[in-house]
Amino acid sequence: MEKYSAFKLLKHSFSHHENWKRVWRSVSPKKSYDVVVVGGGGHGLATAYYLAKNHGIKNIAVLEKGFLGGGNTARNTTIIRSNYLWDEAAQLYELSLKLWEGLSRDLNYNVMFSQRGVLNLGHSLQDMRDIERRVNANRLNGIDGHVVFPDDIKKIAPLINISKDVRYPILGASYQPRGGTARHDAVAWGYARAADALGVDILQHTPVTGINCSEGKIKSVQTNYGEIFAKKVACVVAGNSGVLASMAGFKLPIESRPLQALVSEPLKPCLDTVVMSNAVHGYVSQSNKGDLVIGAGVDSYNGYGQRGSFHIIEHTLQAICELFPSFSRVQMNRQWGGVVDTTPDACPIIGLTPIKNLYMNCGWGTGGFKATPGSGYVFADTVANGTPHKLAAPFSIERFYTGALIDEHGAAGVAH
Amino acid sequence: MLLIYCPYCKQYRDEEEFSYAGEAHIKRPQNPLAISDESWGNYLFFRKNPSDVHHEMWNHSSGCRQFFNVARDMITYEIKETYCISESPKIEKYKK
Amino acid sequence: MSGCNINRLEPLNVAGESTVINFKFNSKKYRGYKGDTLASALIANKVDVVGRSFKFSRPRGIVGHWSEEPNAIVQVGSGAGTVPNLKATQVELYEGLEAKSVNGWPTVNFDFMSLVGVFEKLMPPGFYYKTFMYPGRFWMLYEKYIRKAAGLGKVPVDSDPDYYDKENHHCDILVVGSGPSGMIAALEAGLSGADVIIADDQSEMGGSLLYSNHSLEGKSGFNWAKLLENKISSLKNVTVINRCTVFGYYDHNFLTMIERCNDHISVTSKSGPRQKLHRVRAKRVILATGAFERPLVFANNDIPGVMIASSVSAYINRYKVLPGASLVLCTNNDYAYKTAIDWKSEGNNRITIVDTRRAVKSELINQAKALGIKIIYGHGVTEAKGKKRVQAALISPLSANGSELIGGSTEIVCDVIATSGGWSAAVHLNSQTGVKPVWNRNIISFTPGKTNETQVSIGACNGSFNLIDCIQEGSEAGALMSKNLGFGKGKPKEKIALDKSENEHPTQPIFCIPHQKPSIKGLKQFVDQQLDVTAGSIELAAKEGFESVEHVKRYTALGFGTDQGKLGNVNGMAILANALNKSIEETGTTMFRPAYTPTTFGAIAGRDVKVLFDPIRYTPMHEWHKKHTKEFENVGQWRRPWYFPKVSEGMEQAVARECLAVRNKVGILDASTLGKIDVKGKDALEFLNRVYTNDFTSLTPGRCRYGLMLKEDGMIFDDGVCACIDKNHYLIHTTTGGAANVLSWLEMWKQTEWPELEVFLTSVTDVWATATISGPESRKVISKICRDIDFSDDNFKFMHLKHGTVAGIEARIFRISFTGELSFEINVPSRYGLYIWSKLIDAGDEFGITPYGTEAMHVLRAEKGFIIVGQDTDGSMSPSDMGLSWIVKEGKKFSFLGERSLHRSDLLRSDRKQFVGLLSNDSKTHVPEGSQIVTSKKKKFPMKMEGHVTSSYAHGSLGYPIALAVVENGHQRLGETVFSPQADGSFVDLKIVSPVFYDSKGERSNV
């Protein structure tokens, strides 16, 4: 891999940047692989990278039906935080956050992880109880964060409205300074480049159309290149997980829903942190390009259309104008939808499946982007060893039979 | 923004009058205490989540408050038919 | 006064009048005319540089004349009313308008950042991914400066002073765009009798006819359009909305349009909403959104003075402004010849047409020739010369397919270079329905894809760029769409005597004119001017392996500007296809998403902000509360009194006083917000037995029972008292916040799973007002004003209800208690709520009756260990966790909702978190709500957390703080000391106790 640096940038400027090495190779698939990762989004690419880097498996292919990072990796609002309520989720997201903190250097690719802090606002006494509970739990889990009150919030986000004379006044917030945002596309590209350098074959425009098993064991996957044999198959396909599971003959406790987001036109810096509110139902940050990046809750119905309903956008912008009254004069530039794979407890499913050597990592719902490194890390470990990683174990599909759900609706909420 | 036909009001009304109520035709087990944890878990949480036509329940919550069934394409969002709770879908197979 | 309209051909005339308008741009005063846009007025005043580019800070001028404009981005107005990021080409001029460029410091003419130009070589596409990584912590510092340099306009600081309206429409046919095809379609649909809306983003109808010189039926295009406009406007069933952009096309023919009501009016004479969002549900949609002319890409094509050919025509014909003194027009098609002819018709002979094609023949070309316009065939403009204004064009001969230069360059002195690379159909709205546009190599444009919606694209947005075709398509579509809906016979009514289409020489597929140096090494050839994306950067991205259109767009930012790539996208794709040696079809396309053009947040939000953000629900007694306290709590949508402080009392004292009053005398609470559901029908009892954990079989008329509802997953969902009013008639009480959910939940089971049960559910929350009097003296109070009930304990037992007359009003009185004291809940029809409240206050006066709010209510119930669902539970607590097994009747005939889930292994664990009380060891320290519970004071993270505090009160009736919590295996750990670590590093030592702190035998409510 050609190392990126300011020096290299200078060096290449003398040759008009014509001679940079390709970010990843253009390859044809081999007949068989040790591991086939289905899904070339952030999670899939991270899985391949950690399989190669941490577990020494080199014969890996990543199959992506469209272009790399073209699913939810390309469509999310890039928020990163680890202030989840339950120990199981908090520790998984905290592993992820720690990996984020070194990710640009680990991948030698600037993913622009910007630790500008995340505010989760509270607007009722119960919100504040929940915030206190979550912040206390986070602290004891070794995760940063504290409770802040309206005057502190105003200092962090000067345009926010902390007046008591509004419908749902801001009573306080949790603040996680280590949280922030990253450049979403760069995460996929950075992982792809690093995985490729470790020998991983990346195949774009290669949809998996069938999963072949024999005697309850995975054998191969069917693709436009024909049958590709695999000792192990790891599925990381978010909203399409149900479709893959049904190919393999089992069901998942997952429903795929549209989740919408929007951006404003680029503006001069006006918001240096991430602000989220469950009760007033919206969240906003400002990208490095200057766009306000805004989102809210999931559309109520199932759908794979990458489109949602307009009234969701109306409610979201009502919430944003309520929190930031001067944003009312800003203009929406673009609006889009993704397909999120939601589970009954707003937590992912990571682990084994009824088919031997077929592994699933899905159900990240609205929380997937921030989990990318951690998800790839524990999933790679799970796939390599054939048993769930310690942090992944609570997220097995068994919990839907035993009742050991990890209900993160409060912390996930609108929140991403 | 869906336009949904309410089979009780016999009118097309805007999605905002309705609320989604999940997959249709899920029958509660007759004797829950007699079935395994696995069967019960399947009933509670596991859903078809198809990528073609989905049979789902909607409630005309800001209208007649009746629940009814909708068969809807999950990609185009086209509604193939709506029918009352006690009814079965009229169309068995949908053309792609 | 600077600027003197030196480029103005004649005073601009609107409806026979010409009005001078004064405005300021970048603090300088100028004059324009009514009818001008800010852009046309700036060109008239010869303002060349209107902005600076995003990345390289290059001086930029006006390129287009409408929403495609990438450069002339301005901040209009100041203070709270300022608007960032408007396109000068779309800002209608009004008296007193003030606008500023959004970039450029200290001025657009001398921009400090342009000195950064030296580093341009270090800024290939995606350079930031390749650097700023070391040392680790420095990104935040780099980022600060990158952020400062990015962004366009400034957000106002103060709250938006304007308001925005919404209007809903249901129509037969919505016609989007009032150019020639849209107008004729609307006219035909209107004549057939259909209910039609036609919307357009311009200030008047006409579309391209407003600025292009065509003659139709012997009239100028403009006059022809005006006649058509009159005909359309005279139809009562056609609604015309101008200054109205259709920006979103959602499912099932739902379209959103934004009307700019008074953005074109000077601040002093404005009234009404600033903008209006029209929400349209149309049976049929006719898209007539036109097309955008593509620029040709060449070196230094961003120097002010390089413009779109049709825009030059627009400035000449519509705004009476000649954008320069000498024109070089570079084209690959016939249509652009019109621009040269327009220029010539203003008596200016300094024109050179540079046509990339050879041996071309057509009527239009002949016309140009006949006018004596100089035409050079087989050449292209390879480079613009100049700094802040074009000074010359370099042209070179091209190979037949235009892919390479075959000779040296010649310089032509000029100050305007107009280019035309053909037309791109505006397929945006069609694509928003989830459809990929389809590339048509014959017309060199994307065309609409097949959609599920009942719609049709006509005219230029359908790839029909010829005016005659546009009119024919419009005419047919209007009639046919109407017929589909049962209006008319499908035959156009309006006869239009059209000329034959002029013959055309085919457009040449050329997008980027080659330069002597390759794109990567040579001068910058801009594809997306707003984001400084060059042909070279697209080629570099492809070389690096970013081969998908989406990757290239994301890597270079192509098309991500506020012009949304209207000019640059197709050129970018063509350049990428060329670099990859693929066709444009193979390279792929991208989908378009709303908004078609940027749309104001406030207009999308509408009126549902500020006080109307969410309705506030008040109880009938609210008027009294308002007079007696300022302290309210939002509970769901309700606004409830929190506590009633006396003069100089703080919250703590007030709550303690209210609690003591209830324990020792009598208090009164407004409990009207409590959810109430009326259940009737012969199967009501069976229904209750299925949805509650309890057995209700023994509940006879006149009796009440506390009940618990679970979700099917076995977790506590809601609780409350259920009363049997009569045979087959019950009243369910729910939590205040849960009322609506419980009703929907019950209705779902009744309708979908148990339709055979005859049960009727009615929400009666707002029907009844409820005043609860609680405390040892409460019986005396109620006895005073209710004479027809014997309130003695023998006659009116705890957990019973009676009907009676209270102060003359028929009432239902429940003897139930949430405080642990003797209590009566008096329910009267809502309209008597305030009256009964006052009567009870009067009657209680002699007993010291004390109103109490939600806080004292919470304290009093906590002292009794009563749970609040949603505070002490969180959706993960089962009945046995909360010590409520005593109301779970397992093995009922019908397995109640949630019963099966209680038998799953995780719910049988002995170490589940269980509901307990906590007392601080020193009896003084208040442990905050949300505190976690641990068993070791060793500060080693992660610490094992064994539970958390759900409720905690420092002051109540007991004189010492109490807390409720859920703790692992808590029921077996009474007496054990645990610790609660606090944010400041301290610990609170706590003893696990029973959650019932007061009157553990429950005697006080039973007297």
Number of domains present in the structure of chain C: 6
The predicted-structure confidence for C804-815, as pLDDT tens digits, reads as follows 999 999 999 999
The predicted-structure confidence for C35-74, as pLDDT tens digits, reads as follows 999 999 999 999 999 999 888 889 999 999 999 999 999 9
- C284-312 mean pLDDT: 98
Angle between helices A125-140 and A87-107 (to 10 degrees): 60
Of B42, B44, B56, the CB nearest to A302: B56
- Among C849, C883, C898, which residue terminates a domain? C849
Q: Which of residues 41-80 of C touch A (CB under 8 A)?
A: 80
- A103–chain C Cβ distance below 8 A for any pair: no
Contacts of C387 (CB under 8 A, 6+ apart): C59, C303
Give the distance from residue C788's alpha carbon to the nearest chain A alpha carbon, in angstroms: 42
Average pLDDT value over all residues in chain C = 95
pLDDT value, residue A415: 40
Nearest CA in chain B to C254: B1
The predicted-structure confidence for C744-798, as pLDDT tens digits, reads as follows 999 999 999 999 999 999 999 999 999 999 999 999 999 999 999 999 999 999 9
Of B32, B44, B61, the CB nearest to C895: B32
Reported ipTM: the value is 0.97
Q: Which two tokens stand for residue B91?
A: 């169309």
Q: Is the pLDDT of residue C671 over 80?
A: yes
Nearest CA in chain B to A309: B1
- C643-663 mean pLDDT: 97
The predicted-structure confidence for C813-857, as pLDDT tens digits, reads as follows 999 999 999 999 999 999 999 999 999 999 999 999 999 999 999
pLDDT value, residue C105: 72
Strand, coil or helix: B22: strand
Which subunits have 3 or more CB–CB pairs within 8 Å of chain C? A, B
Q: Which residues of B touch A354 (CB under 8 A)?
A: none
Task: Give backbone dihedrals phi and psi of C614, rounded to 5 degrees, phi first.
Answer: -150, 135
Clarify whether residues C217 and C194 are in a common domain.
yes
pLDDT value, residue C164: 98
The DSSP 8-state label assigned to residue C913 in this structure reads E
- B34–chain C Cβ distance below 8 A for any pair: no
Clarify whether residues C644 and C689 are in a common domain.
no
Give the distance from residue B25's alpha carbon to the nearest chain A alpha carbon, in angstroms: 16
Clarify whether residues C741 and C772 are in a common domain.
no
Clarify whether residues C316 and C175 are in a common domain.
no
- C671-695 mean pLDDT: 97
Host H or E run for residue C249: strand C244-250
- C430–chain A Cβ distance below 8 A for any pair: no
Q: Note whether residue C74 is domain-resident.
A: yes
- A280-293 mean pLDDT: 95
Task: Give backbone dihedrals phi and psi of C674, rounded to 5 degrees, phi first.
Answer: -55, 135
pLDDT value, residue C895: 97
Q: Is the pLDDT of residue C143 over 90?
A: no
pLDDT value, residue C116: 60
Sign of the torsion formed by the C-alpha atoms of A14, A17, A19 and A24: positive
User: Inter-chain contact C160–A329, Cβ cutoff 8 Å?
Assistant: yes
What is the rounded distance in angstroms from the CA atom of residue C114 to the CA atom of residue A98?
A: 39
User: Inter-chain contact B54–A302, Cβ cutoff 8 Å?
Assistant: yes
Which of C112-121, C516-525, C929-938 bottoms out in mean pLDDT, i.e. has the lowest? C112-121
Q: Which residues of C touch A399 (CB under 8 A)?
A: 906
Q: Note whether residue C798 is domain-resident.
A: yes
The predicted-structure confidence for C950-978, as pLDDT tens digits, reads as follows 999 999 999 999 999 999 999 999 999 99
Q: Is the pLDDT of residue C413 over 70?
A: yes
Q: Which residues of A touch B40 (CB under 8 A)?
A: 401
pLDDT value, residue A411: 57
What domain range includes position C280? Answer: 164-291+425-484
pLDDT value, residue C353: 98
User: Inter-chain contact B1–A309, Cβ cutoff 8 Å?
Assistant: yes
Nearest 5 degrees, angle CA B84-CA B85-CA B86? 95
Spatial CA neighbour of C68 closest among C574, C530, C539: C530
Of C281, C895, C904, the CB nearest to B31: C895
Clarify whether residues C650 and C797 are in a common domain.
yes
Q: Is the pLDDT of residue C108 over 80?
A: no
- C555–chain A Cβ distance below 8 A for any pair: yes
Clarify whether residues C268 and C284 are in a common domain.
yes
Q: Is the pLDDT of residue C515 over 80?
A: yes
What is the rounded distance in angstroms from the CA atom of residue C69 to the CA atom of residue C38?
A: 12
Strand, coil or helix: C855: helix
Optimal mutation site among B49, B78, B82, interface A, most CBs of chain A within 10 A: B49
Spatial CA neighbour of C427 closest among C384, C390, C458: C458
What is the rounded distance in angstroms from the CA atom of residue C942 to the CA atom of residue A95?
A: 13
Q: How many CA atoms lie within 13 A of A183 on its CB side?
A: 23
With a pLDDT cut of 90, the percent of chain C lying above it is 89
Nearest CA in chain C to A287: C147
Of B1, B32, B79, the CB nearest to C899: B32
Q: Which residues of B touch A400 (CB under 8 A)?
A: 41, 44-46
Residues of B with CB under 8 A from a CB of A: 1-2, 15-16, 19-20, 22, 37-38, 40-42, 44-51, 54, 56, 72, 74-77
Helix locations, C64-199, DSSP H: 127-130, 139-149, 180-192
pLDDT value, residue C1: 42
User: Inter-chain contact B76–C434, Cβ cutoff 8 Å?
Assistant: yes
Q: Is the pLDDT of residue C609 over 90?
A: yes
User: Inter-chain contact B51–A240, Cβ cutoff 8 Å?
Assistant: yes
Nearest 5 degrees, angle CA C702-CA C704-CA C705? 150
Q: Note whether residue C597 is domain-resident.
A: no
Clarify whether residues C666 and C688 are in a common domain.
no
Clarify whether residues C182 and C275 are in a common domain.
yes
User: Inter-chain contact C543–A20, Cβ cutoff 8 Å?
Assistant: yes
Burial C657-687 (b: 16+ CB within 10 A, else e): bbbbbbbebbbbbbbbbbbbbbbbbebbbbb
- B1–chain C Cβ distance below 8 A for any pair: yes
What is the rounded distance in angstroms from the CA atom of residue C485 to the CA atom of residue C283?
A: 8
Clarify whether residues C412 and C455 are in a common domain.
no
Q: Note whether residue C977 is domain-resident.
A: no
Q: What's the CATH code of the domain at C100?
A: 3.10.20.440
- B77–chain C Cβ distance below 8 A for any pair: yes
Residue C56 near residue C26, CB atoms below 8 Å: no
- C119 — pLDDT class (breaks 50, 70, 90): confident
Burial A253-283 (b: 16+ CB within 10 A, else e): bbbbbbbbbbbbbbbbbbbbbbbbbbbbbbb
Q: What's the CATH code of the domain at C577?
A: 3.50.50.60
Q: Which residue has the tokens 């400062």?
A: C148
Give the distance from residue B14's alpha carbon to the nearest chain C alpha carbon, in angstroms: 9
Number of domains present in the structure of chain B: 1
Spatial CA neighbour of A335 closest among B85, C256, C188, C757: C256
Torsion (CA) C898, C902, C905, C909 in degrees, nearest 10: 140
Torsion (CA) C964, C966, C970, C971 in degrees, nearest 10: 70
- A416 — pLDDT class (breaks 50, 70, 90): very low
pTM across the whole model: 0.96
User: Inter-chain contact A251–B42, Cβ cutoff 8 Å?
Assistant: yes
Nearest 5 degrees, angle CA C283-CA C288-CA C294? 145
Give the distance from residue B42's alpha carbon to the nearest chain A alpha carbon, in angstroms: 8
Q: Which residues of C touch B5 (CB under 8 A)?
A: none
- Among C763, C785, C816, which residue terminates a domain? C763
What domain range includes position B88? Answer: 3-29+36-94
Q: What's the CATH code of the domain at B12?
A: 3.30.2270.10
User: Inter-chain contact C250–B1, Cβ cutoff 8 Å?
Assistant: yes
User: Inter-chain contact B61–C752, Cβ cutoff 8 Å?
Assistant: no
- C449-466 mean pLDDT: 94
Q: Note whether residue C530 is domain-resident.
A: yes
Of A256, A300, A402, the CB nearest to B49: A256
Clarify whether residues C138 and C203 are in a common domain.
no
Strand, coil or helix: B4: strand
Q: Is the pLDDT of residue C110 over 80?
A: no
User: Inter-chain contact C747–B59, Cβ cutoff 8 Å?
Assistant: yes
- Among C830, C849, C868, which residue terminates a domain? C849
Clarify whether residues C659 and C703 are in a common domain.
no
Mind spelling out the 3-state secondary structure of chain A? Answer: CCCCCHHHHHHHHCCCCCCCCCCCCCCCCCCEEEEEEECCCHHHHHHHHHHHHHHCCCCEEEECCCCCCCCHHHHCCCEECCCCCCHHHHHHHHHHHHHHHHHHHHHCCCCCCECCCEEEEECCHHHHHHHHHHHHHHHHCCCCCEEECHHHHHHHCCCCCCCCCCCCCCCEEEEECCCEECCHHHHHHHHHHHHHHCCCEEECCCCEEEEEEECCEEEEEEECCEEEEEEEEEECCHHHHHHHHHHHCCCECCEEEEEEEEEECCECCCCCCEEEECCCCEEEEECCCCCEEEEEEECCCCCCCCCCCHHHHHHHHHHHHHHCHHHHHCEEEEEEEEEEEECCCCCCEEEECCCECEEEEECCCCCHHHHHHHHHHHHHHHHHHCCCCCCCHHHCCCHHHHCCCCCCHHHHCCCC
Q: Note whether residue C931 is domain-resident.
A: no
Clarify whether residues C383 and C515 are in a common domain.
yes
Q: Note whether residue C876 is domain-resident.
A: no
Q: Is the pLDDT of residue C3 over 50?
A: no
For residue A117, the one-letter residue type is G
pLDDT value, residue A413: 45
What is the rounded distance in angstroms from the CA atom of residue C801 to the CA atom of residue C824?
A: 9
What is the rounded distance in angstroms from the CA atom of residue A403 to the CA atom of residue B37?
A: 9
Which of A348-362, A383-397, C7-21, C797-811 bottoms out in mean pLDDT, i.e. has the lowest? C7-21
Give the distance from residue C943's alpha carbon to the nearest chain B alpha carbon, in angstroms: 32
Question: From residue C852, how far is each of A329, C281, C659, C860, C962 by CA, in Å?
Answer: 44, 50, 8, 11, 19
Would you tell me how many other CB atoms lie within 10 Å of the CB of residue C45? 22
- A59–chain C Cβ distance below 8 A for any pair: no
Q: Note whether residue C186 is domain-resident.
A: yes
Q: Is the pLDDT of residue C118 over 80?
A: no
Question: From residue C13, how far is each of C18, C36, C37, C312, C447 by CA, in Å?
Answer: 5, 10, 13, 19, 37
Nearest CA in chain A to C164: A328
Would you tell me how many other CB atoms lie within 10 Å of the CB of residue C612? 12
Which subunits have 3 or more CB–CB pairs within 8 Å of chain A? B, C
The larger pLDDT score, comparing residue C122 to residue C649, is at: C649
